[in-house]
Structure 1
Amino acid sequence: MSLAAVAAHQPAAVPASVIDDLDLAIDRAALALRREQRGDGHFAFDLEADATIPAEYVMLKHFLGETDPVIERKIGAYLRRTQEAHGGWPLLHGGALNVSASVKAYVALRMIGDSVEAPHMARARDAILAAGGAAHSNVFTRTSLALFGMVPWRAVPVMPIEIMSAPAWFPFHIYRISYWARDTLVPLLVLMALKPKGVNPRGILIPELFVTPPERVRIWPKGTNQVGGWGIIFGALDKVLQAAEPYFPKGKRQSAIDKAVAFVRARLNGEDGLGAIYPAMANTVMMFRVLGVPDDHPDAVLARSAVDKLLAIKGEEAFCQPALSPVWDTALSAHALIEAGGDHAEAADRGLAWLKPLQVLDVKGDWAEQRPDVRPGGWAFQYRNDYYPDLDDTAVVAMAMDRARGQSGDAGFDESIARAREWVVGLQSKDGGWAAFDADNTSTYLNYIPFADHGALLDPPTSDVTARVVSMLAQLGETPAASPAMKRGIDFLLAEQHPEGGWYGRWGFNYVYGTWSVLCALNAAGFPSDAPQVRRAVAWLASIQNADGGWGEDDKGYDLDYKGYNPAPSTASQTAWAVIGLMAAGEVDHPAVERGVAYLRSTQTADGFWPEELFTGTGFPRVFYLRYHGYPKFFPLWALARYRNLKHSNSRTVMVGM
């Protein structure tokens, strides 16, 4: 069916009682969401990762020689509750044991005061040993252990701080890696150069977690991405560096340390911290302590404040968030409330008014290393992160502002939207796609260095972010015929379609997330709904619907040997993505949409929201996942409201980007 035919297709008759019930469900959800709005208009929901970040918070405090019985008791309660039946800790709710997360959780509980003889600690120890022991943890975990003398520093691949002085053409340069790797690594380089030992007030050591005593381990494990040609080359280079590092000239080393400290100080970012992400913040705190910066120095105070802002205290439990997500939460909540319409749209206007002054217009961040002639104009993910605005957030904010001005006729957002478009287009990569923070961050060989066993050192263009940008350009009135950037973006998306029919989702689980994103973009761009790419995507989404009417997908789709979709229990957020994606393809009356809507209506709870303990967000595939507590609050509302709006309409399409 052509786009014109879809638009002319008349809605199927829907009983008035069904619409009335749907209106009640939407109003209940919208009112519940509005109750979460802060006094200044913004939304901010908890962002939860695995046990690693809370455990690292405890380890950070003990590195500094500090104990906090109240917070430690609450974090301990959280860690004990999230321990799985297999005895260890997973990367996401209900997941398999992850050695690295389990080792850190175990160490933190020991530091908190849990006895090695406690039943839960014995179960954890047995599970870790059965998985090969702490020697099989990843590089970042072994680095954390080295900072306490729990493993020798030779357990950690060498990353010489002298790379801070490397010229731009050098194969390894800090601007060749992603923003999150860059900001985490630079202060860590100082620690790795100086090799300090944390205070460790309770004197905790963990020999019980090793099959072979750590001082006798000679070959430490490599990541799965470190085999083959590049892995062999970099592995050999690491052996050379291990032997040579003690003999590096002291003068050049000190000069490199000075450059690293200057890099960090220039990007301290107030109380939002270096990069506004926990690992970079924690490394900064330790770096200042090791360098002898007094605790009452303004830089040290800011660094400590940034870390403490990430604590989420929930009654008798607490966890440390990897970052804060207010811009993302506010922009997506605004979209949902605009879709809900009526008085609810006024709450969206308040959120957008809060967002407007957060646009970064005067700081050329690290992205300018690749695009020096582009003017800034993006929004960050966090409250503040001027050096690292996010293209995904920027596109979502700009689209929400455009929708709001389309309803009100207010030109107050015109300049904000124009600057956002200018910056986003300027960050397009050579292959036509867009990444999250940088352009052409594609030096793939770097993922093979021994230090990068997590395989997430880079920020290449992805389907989901590219789809969001194409959506924005289309919503702003551009067409593939008139916009070379948009045309190249669509070509990138069409080339990225998975053979099954879906698109990879880098920042959310996974093919459901990516397919929702791309179908919305193609719809907004006027791509024919009867095109074979769209038909394959529709057929795939319909084929993976669960028996209960919902959709679910877990992290198995990120496995390197992924062979197809892996069924998982339904979640509200993934169901909403699938329903919105199908409707973007003109399938408002599809039985799969009807069943998806029925699933959302039947699982809505009395408070107006939806339960969702499963993780649906991605930090780094295969390594680090996220539970966005806001997702089941605004995505299902968005899906139900759009379904109602299209059922009331004479059209089966909605020409907005999301």
Structure 2
Amino acid sequence: MLKESSVSKTLSRHGIDVTVVEQAVKASHAALGRRQKGDGHWVFELEADATIPSEYVLLGHFLDRIDTALEQKIGVYLRRIQGDHGGWPLYQDGRFDLSASVKAYFALKMIGDDVDAPHMRRARAAILQHGGAERSNVFTRIQLALYGEVPWDAVPVMPVELMLLPRKAFFSIWNMSYWSRTVIAPLLILAAYKPLALNPRGVHVQELFKRPPARIKDWIRGPYRSVWGRVFTYLDKALRPIVPHIPRSLHEKAIREAVRFIEKRLSGGGLGAIYPSMANVLMMYRVLGVPDDDPRVVQAWEAVQGLLVEKEDEAYCQPCVSPVWDTALSGLAMLEASSGAGAVQPAETKAALEKAAAWLRDRQILDVKGDWAINAPDLRPGGWAFQYENDYYPDVDDTAVVGMLLHRIDPEKNRVAIERAREWIIGMQSSNGGWGAFDIDNDLEALNHIPFSDHGALLDPPTVDVSARCISFLSQLGHPEDIGVIRKGLDYIRSEQEESGSWFGRWGTNYIYGTWSVLCALNIAGVSHDDPMVQRAVAWLESVQNEDGGWGEDCASYEGAPQGVYKTSLPTQTAWATLGLMAVGRRDSEAVQRGMAYLAQQQDEQGEWHEAPYNAVGFPKVFYLRYHGYKQFFPLMALSRYRNLTSSNSGQVEFGF
């Protein structure tokens, strides 16, 4: 924390002490600058729940590629994040999650933990109390089937022949999201061969079942989210006796098509550059008899190893890496700090940001028509992916944020990159005016009710937060010919406002994130600060501010908990809230003043902030994320924005972020 003398003067009778803000900005700017890599980019840890490190352990035992020392460190991590309820949650202090707990227990037993150890007894009791492993989700039952713990009847029917269906077919993989497509393609081959893990230590977890798996007949059952769920369950039952009789020639053709699909998209980043796809590819190659020294397997294995975070006493596996996103956001924060009357090291920062811009330009995808092109065949590529390498799957959120940064750094030097990004984003707008993350009109909602999609996240429909970023980018560029695109996007956003006045945050936690994103977009797009939509959002943000001046929101808000509420304030969400309020002219409001004071008080002597709770989401109710960089660059952005608005004596934000 700041020294007591600084804290005591943070708020004066006229508001926050600007000297304190200046000190906080300088310290944070230096801290973030130290984290920049030599080639110009930033990358922070991206942490999920127990699921991914547990699956990494299981993968090693499936392949008999076991690193005992690494496993021991993963064991330390898994034991540390075990919840008081005995199992494992999906985020910090979250409720018990059955599927995550089954995988974590299985992994710890693989690692060598005694089943009679207190933490294992507690976990087992909690799992059985919640229905046993037989009630875990589809992806967990697939893992169990790979080890022979459950029959393959426990898994929904997913014939590999799906790979042959055309785009217009209801069950076509092209109607699914990018992450579903890349996970399913190798998984279909695994389901076709029904392999058994090598499991060299002979570890099994039958003690986690309330009934012997061989006797269970109701693997595919509700609760159903709609009548479609019941229809598809009947269809699953009807298909089971048919699938074994599909002509062998057709079956083999489908397997070849799956392999072709996968290998076309393989790169140094792995298939889709996300762990589940990458792990499935490794198991697929083993099943197909491809040796471990084959270049394809070597590349796939190295991609998985690149996700590991190994520390002195513990380790975990990330779901993916986030260098493009981290670089763009860090760059915007550093740029804000080095601008205005109180600019921090403007010359040095300019040089650092030019390196970041060059690094980003090199990663713009200009010559690969990814899966998005199935719905936009005439659109030129021009986006950025989230990861180091994932050319088939750029996303519009990263592209918009990178575009805004490049435009602010040097619009002329970056002109070609910006124009290609603009062209691509305009072409990726969905028919309802919004933008999805990776695809256009990927919203065939009935697919979310098939038995395989018990997680309800098979699709990538337009979302408000991504759409807001696209509007911000296009509005910042200011091309008159884009007004119609922007207006259509604004109409979509207006239609999505919650009754409370907030907006849902699909990719960040949650309503605070969504509301901040929208207010920035409305401002730069020229929507009046007096618009009732803006007024309602401001009133909501101010209503959920905490007594200490900060804001916080629980990931449980995705599960029905109150919006914008948490047991404590958090630097990341305080930054989002204050940035949103400042975007619509509330710089001098008491809410913003108190928010700035909170951020200054929470900063440590090294210029950084600390928070343990998760701040983002992969799939609501299923998979949550903790971006370790958020607590560093967003508070810097907010404090710098406040300082710049104060020094210019203006309440107007000129940029859309």
TM-score strictly above 0.5: yes
In the alignment, is the contact (CA less than 8 A) between 1:512 and 1:541 conserved in 2? yes
The correspondence of residues 58-457 of structure 1 with structure 2, limited to 5 A, is 58-220=57-219, 222=221, 224=223, 226-269=224-267, 271-341=268-338, 342-343=344-345, 344-405=349-410, 411-457=412-458
Note the alpha carbon deviations across 1:515-552, whole angstroms, 9 max, x for none.
00000000001110011000000000000011221111
In the alignment, is the contact (CA less than 8 A) between 2:221 and 2:233 conserved in 1? no
In the alignment, is the contact (CA less than 8 A) between 1:544 and 1:567 conserved in 2? no
1:334 is paired with a residue whose SS is helix
In the alignment, is the contact (CA less than 8 A) between 2:501 and 2:536 conserved in 1? yes
In the alignment, is the contact (CA less than 8 A) between 1:556 and 1:566 conserved in 2? no
Deviation at 1:41, TM superposition (A): 0.7
**Which residue number corresponds to residue 48 of structure 2?**
49
Runs of 4+ in 1 over 6 A off after TM superposition: 12-17
In the alignment, is the contact (CA less than 8 A) between 2:553 and 2:563 conserved in 1? no
Q: How many residues align?
A: 639
The correspondence of residues 492-503 of structure 1 with structure 2, limited to 5 A, is 492-503=492-503
Unaligned 5+ segments in structure 2 are 1-10, 339-343
CA distance in structure 2 between the partners assigned to 1:436 and 1:482 by the alignment: 20
Cα 1:223–1:372 change in 2 (3 A) is: farther
**Which residue number corresponds to residue 461 of structure 1?**
462
CA distance in structure 1 between the partners assigned to 2:603 and 2:565 by the alignment: 25
CA distance in structure 1 between the partners assigned to 2:352 and 2:551 by the alignment: 29
Cα 1:161–1:482 change in 2 (3 A) is: closer
In the alignment, is the contact (CA less than 8 A) between 2:292 and 2:298 conserved in 1? yes
Q: CA-atom RMSD, angstroms?
A: 1.6
**Which residue number corresponds to residue 549 of structure 1?**
549
Cα 1:629–1:482 change in 2 (3 A) is: closer
In the alignment, is the contact (CA less than 8 A) between 1:337 and 1:347 conserved in 2? no
In the alignment, is the contact (CA less than 8 A) between 1:222 and 1:453 conserved in 2? no
Deviation at 1:631, TM superposition (A): 0.4
The correspondence of residues 628-647 of structure 1 with structure 2, limited to 5 A, is 628-647=627-646
1:625 is paired with a residue whose SS is strand
Deviation at 1:557, TM superposition (A): 2.1
Deviation at 1:13, TM superposition (A): 10
Amino acid at match of 1:603: Q
Deviation at 1:145, TM superposition (A): 0.6
In the alignment, is the contact (CA less than 8 A) between 1:433 and 1:462 conserved in 2? yes
In the alignment, is the contact (CA less than 8 A) between 1:178 and 1:457 conserved in 2? yes
Amino acid at match of 2:542: A
2:316 is paired with a residue whose SS is strand
Amino acid at match of 1:105: A
In the alignment, is the contact (CA less than 8 A) between 2:383 and 2:394 conserved in 1? yes
2:107 is paired with a residue whose SS is helix
CA distance in structure 2 between the partners assigned to 1:644 and 1:227 by the alignment: 48
CA distance in structure 1 between the partners assigned to 2:16 and 2:308 by the alignment: 45
**Which residue number corresponds to residue 8 of structure 2?**
none
In the alignment, is the contact (CA less than 8 A) between 2:20 and 2:600 conserved in 1? no
In the alignment, is the contact (CA less than 8 A) between 2:614 and 2:624 conserved in 1? yes
CA distance in structure 2 between the partners assigned to 1:247 and 1:93 by the alignment: 47
Deviation at 1:483, TM superposition (A): 1.8
CA distance in structure 2 between the partners assigned to 1:20 and 1:456 by the alignment: 47
Deviation at 1:568, TM superposition (A): 3.9
CA distance in structure 1 between the partners assigned to 2:473 and 2:631 by the alignment: 24
Deviation at 1:15, TM superposition (A): 7.4
**Which residue number corresponds to residue 520 of structure 2?**
520
CA distance in structure 1 between the partners assigned to 2:175 and 2:16 by the alignment: 58
CA distance in structure 2 between the partners assigned to 1:227 and 1:602 by the alignment: 45
2:624 is paired with a residue whose SS is strand
Note the alpha carbon deviations across 1:366-420, whole angstroms, 9 max, x for none.
00000001000000000011000010000000000111116xxxx2100000000
Deviation at 1:170, TM superposition (A): 1.1
Does 392-401 or 202-211 show the bigger shift?
Answer: 202-211
In the alignment, is the contact (CA less than 8 A) between 1:161 and 1:256 conserved in 2? yes
CA distance in structure 1 between the partners assigned to 2:58 and 2:311 by the alignment: 20
Deviation at 1:119, TM superposition (A): 0.8
Deviation at 1:345, TM superposition (A): 4.1
Unaligned 5+ segments in structure 1 are 1-11
Amino acid at match of 2:234: A
Deviation at 1:357, TM superposition (A): 0.9
* TM-score normalised by length of structure 2: 0.95
CA distance in structure 2 between the partners assigned to 1:482 and 1:332 by the alignment: 24
1:186 is paired with a residue whose SS is helix
Note the alpha carbon deviations across 1:190-234, whole angstroms, 9 max, x for none.
00011000001111111111111111111125465x343211110
**Which residue number corresponds to residue 6 of structure 1?**
none
Cα 1:16–1:447 change in 2 (3 A) is: closer
Amino acid at match of 2:295: P
**Which residue number corresponds to residue 5 of structure 1?**
none
In the alignment, is the contact (CA less than 8 A) between 1:136 and 1:221 conserved in 2? no
2:569 is paired with a residue whose SS is strand
Cα 1:376–1:36 change in 2 (3 A) is: same
Does 346-355 or 315-324 show the bigger shift?
Answer: 346-355
Does 462-471 or 589-598 show the bigger shift?
Answer: 589-598
Does 249-258 or 101-110 show the bigger shift?
Answer: 249-258
Note the alpha carbon deviations across 1:312-368, whole angstroms, 9 max, x for none.
012110000000000000000000000001423432232122111100000000000
